[in-house]
Amino acid sequence: MEHSCVGLNALPDEILMINFQKSVSNSTHSNSFVFPPQSNIIGKISRQLQKLNVGMSQLNDGMTKLNDGMVKLTDGMTKLNDGMVKLNVGMVKLNDGMTKLNDGMVKL
């Protein structure tokens, strides 16, 4: 019994099942390779796609949390910047006051 290497997409399920049945009936006399039915392959692909979908969903959740964290960080940095501006204004006023105090001390 001769077998050729043919892509699974080229063979209908009926032929695959016939080859599978022949192989089972001749299993003690033959070492032939038999392709599983396409439905098994489609099932495996479907399960892998489901796993990929779960992974992508988890990645999306993680990216959403990261984005939320980045928004909070940006808000915090904005508040810090506002505080630094206020501190700078206060330091300028303090410097002006120290200059006036120094000028007053010189006049004495």
Give the residue among 58, 34, 14 at the shortest CA–CA distance from 66: 58
- 63: in domain: yes
Residue 104 has pLDDT above 80, yes or no: yes
Residue 6 within a domain: no
Q: Is position 51 within any domain?
A: yes
Residue 53: inside a domain, yes or no? yes
CA dist 97 to 84, 88, 93, 94, 107, Å?
20, 14, 6, 5, 15
- The CA-atom distances, in angstroms, between 86 and each of 1, 63, 107 are 90, 34, 32
pLDDT at res. 38: 80
Alpha-carbon span 102 to 108, nearest angstrom: 10
pLDDT tens, position by position, 62-90: 999 999 999 999 999 999 999 999 999 99
How many structural domains does the chain have?
A: 1
Answer positive or negative: Cα dihedral of 70, 76, 78, 84: negative
**Within a domain: 97:** yes
H-only helix segments in 1-108:
13-25, 38-107
Residue 52 has pLDDT above 90, yes or no: yes
Q: How far is CA 81 from the centre of its chain?
A: 32
The answer as to whether 3 is a domain residue is no
pTM: 0.51
In a domain, 83, yes or no: yes
Q: Is the pLDDT of residue 10 over 80?
A: no
- Domain ranges, residue 25: 11-107
Q: What are phi and psi of 32, to 5 degrees?
A: -75, 150
- Per the domain annotation, does 60 fall within a domain? yes
